[in-house]
Structure 1
Amino acid sequence: MTPCISAASLKLNDSTRHCRPPSQTRRSEETSSAIRGDLLRICRHLFQVYLVTHRDTLTRVAVKMVKKESMVGNPISTLNEREVLEMVQDNPFCAQAYATFQAEKHLSFVLEYMGQGDLAGQIEETWLTLPTIRRMSAELLCGVQLLHSRGIIHRDLKPANILIHLNGHVKIADFGAAATGMFGQPGGRRWNVPILCAGGK
């Protein structure tokens, strides 16, 4: 990830036309001392994702802000996500990261803004045609194949973690639960598959 993007170079995006779900899209009252934007997603008390714009390029990006207090005693999820995002930078079927930075209370990831929300919301709102399902399935299989070829297991692949770009293509996201160093490939953290830990039951 390139370090050229800083909190100071990001500004609030004025449009939420493509933000989903609408019920969760609202102007943030307080995110951190550096970032204020339109709320795209919230995950309990762990993190929030905001839509902002890079001041110099006018590129819209998603900033995922992880509360540092949520990492106390268990920083593995955030470390996993950063490691995997670096490993999949050239994978067109995985969401891309541009930079990371930190403020007093948050660690932040500057991520590719997809624009059409996640597959879970798409399934709830509309019928997917058979050709669309086939294309999405093929793209996801390519993404998973590349992850496995690099010794990465996602471990939390579900519709909510599959993002849809404005052009209709899908990408795998949210690598906090991922395991690396699998299948004999080099990596930082190895994990046992849960079903094997349970004796195959």
Structure 2
Amino acid sequence: MTNAGERQLGHYTIIRQLGAGGMGEVYLADDKRLARKVAVKVLPADLTRNDEAKRRLLREARSVAALDHPNVCTVYEVDEQDGRLYIVMQYVEGETLADRLSRERMPLNACIDVAMEIASALQEAHSHGVVHRDIKPANVMINVRGQVKVLDFGLAKSAATIEQSATDLLVSKAGTISGTAPYMSPEQIRGSTVDGRSDIFSLGIVLYEIAAGARPFDRPSAVGTITAILFDPPPPLTREEFKPLQSVIETCLAKNPNDRYQTAADLRGELQALREGRATTAEARTGVREARLAPKHAVDPEAEQLVLKGRVQWNKRHPEAVKQGIDLFQQAIERDPAYPDAYAGLADCYLMLAFLQVVPPTDVLSRIKAAATRAIQLEPGLAQPHATLGYAAGLFEWNWPEAARELKEAMRLDSNYPWAPHWYGLLLTGRGEFEEAIAHMQRAKELDSLSPIISVARGIPPHYGRRYKEALTLYHAVIETEAAFAPAHYYIGLT
């Protein structure tokens, strides 16, 4: 949309540009058919450079279009012109929350009202399985009547899946942190599965920013900010007027999702109680919360960065990438020998090398056990190394009791870690316990609906149970969104 010849998109006539950013250019346009003003977001070409990316984004847009709520900016249409996708949305006349905060400080009640409306929008979205992933003041509009409208539901998810590493999303080539990163949850930064509680964490940062006039985890460097999000408690609020919000914000900003408000409705209820002058349940938990928020270990920032990069390499599931992951995790351990996540990542990489048949399992089994055990010694509540030990015991040693014990312990420690039920389901399949395997595979799919590996694996239990039609349906469902995904074609060929 850079020259005069591109002033028409479908039946929408472009009037003027409203803004631009990493998620595309936004224009005010005239809808000639319905005689109304609309906002048109033209998405960057690199988000839609292949058919798979387009299908993913269209799927997200359709989910958002199903939302019908006064605090959600309505999506009217998604279309394509000259190879560029564009999204037609409700035009909200007003200003962003970011603009409002740059101009003035908001009083307590106005802060609570805005947060309640954002929570209401999240409640609606989460009830439809839509997680925003990019809650920040720039994505919150306040219209001329003072009503909140939350923008860009689902788009951050699509952007984050188009061949970008977690580190790429956080830090630019110049080493500066992106505009989105200061509002990310710890699980987003780690590249873990996220659910609605991640949005609650981000809303907690927005609440803190309104109350304090600054974000709670901002540091001079990008790595410092990332590390603060992962490990540091938010500084206490100093403005007397906003101190009643302290316990609510701390609950939102718990590092473990299980310690936050579990739903946006819960958070909205707390804010409503505060607005009406009633005591909140968060206030009763403040002492416990402070203990939980205290960092267990001050991680070396460079080690944290190395682990993030190592996870990206492991997730590629390619021999050379996994070897790079091993090197990165070893570098992290050299910098910080007491960092449990580095040992857990190292164990996963050794397991992946054996799984990919790059090395015999006997060559790396002792290394898997040593790294995972060390991670557990450093942080007994970490689920990941237990899952790794369990899968290794079942896959390489055929030690079913040990495998079941470790994988069940991983699921107990973190019910949102998708690889534990995924691996448990695979081992159950090998034992012929197909129905229980299917249930665990479905749970893994619910936790990570975008993982093609987890999606393909749902077909394995019915496949080996000789329910071939059911298996083929699941395999082909992956091909519809991941046309070039080799494991899906492999299993189709076996069926």
1:161/1:81 Cα in 2 relative to 1: closer, same or farther (>3 Å)?
Answer: farther
C-alpha distance in structure 1 between counterparts of 2:5 and 2:88, whole Å: 14
What is the match of residue 41 of structure 1?
19
TM-score, scaled to structure 2 = 0.29
From 134, 142, 148, the counterpart of 2:126: 148
Larger fraction in helix: 2
1:170/1:137 Cα in 2 relative to 1: closer, same or farther (>3 Å)?
Answer: same
> What is the Cα-based RMSD across aligned positions, in Å?
3.2
Report 1:67-146 matches (<5 A): 67-73=44-50, 74-75=53-54, 78-79=57-58, 81-88=60-67, 90-146=68-124
C-alpha distance in structure 1 between counterparts of 2:145 and 2:116, whole Å: 16
C-alpha distance in structure 2 between counterparts of 1:100 and 1:174, whole Å: 13
C-alpha distance in structure 2 between counterparts of 1:119 and 1:85, whole Å: 21
What is the match of residue 54 of structure 1?
31
Shift of the alpha carbon at 1:94?
A: 0.8
1:177/1:108 Cα in 2 relative to 1: closer, same or farther (>3 Å)?
Answer: same
C-alpha distance in structure 2 between counterparts of 1:47 and 1:80, whole Å: 18
Report 1:11-26 matches (<5 A): none
1:75/1:54 Cα in 2 relative to 1: closer, same or farther (>3 Å)?
Answer: closer
Q: Does 1:177 align with 2:177?
A: no
What is the match of residue 164 of structure 1?
142
Number of aligned residues: 162
Q: Deviations over 1:78-123 (max 9, x none)?
A: 33541332221x1211110122222113212111111113211111
Larger RCO (alpha carbons 8 Å, 6+ apart): 1
C-alpha distance in structure 2 between counterparts of 1:31 and 1:169, whole Å: 36
The 10-residue stretch of structure 1 (103-112 or 124-133) with the greater mean CA deviation from structure 2: 124-133
C-alpha distance in structure 1 between counterparts of 2:5 and 2:137, whole Å: 27
Q: Which letter does structure 2 place at the counterpart of 1:53?
A: D
Q: Which letter does structure 1 place at the counterpart of 2:57?
A: T
Q: Deviations over 1:139-176 (max 9, x none)?
A: 11111112222222211111111122221111211121
1:33/1:140 Cα in 2 relative to 1: closer, same or farther (>3 Å)?
Answer: closer
TM-score, scaled to structure 1 = 0.67
Q: Which letter does structure 1 place at the counterpart of 2:147?
A: H
Structure 1: any 5+ residue segments left out of the alignment?
Answer: 1-26, 180-190
- Could you say which structure has the larger radius of gyration? 2
Larger fraction in strand: 1
C-alpha distance in structure 2 between counterparts of 1:31 and 1:164, whole Å: 33
User: Is the Cα contact below 8 Å between 1:38 and 1:52 reproduced in 2?
Assistant: yes
% identical aligned pairs: 24
The 10-residue stretch of structure 1 (121-130 or 51-60) with the greater mean CA deviation from structure 2: 51-60
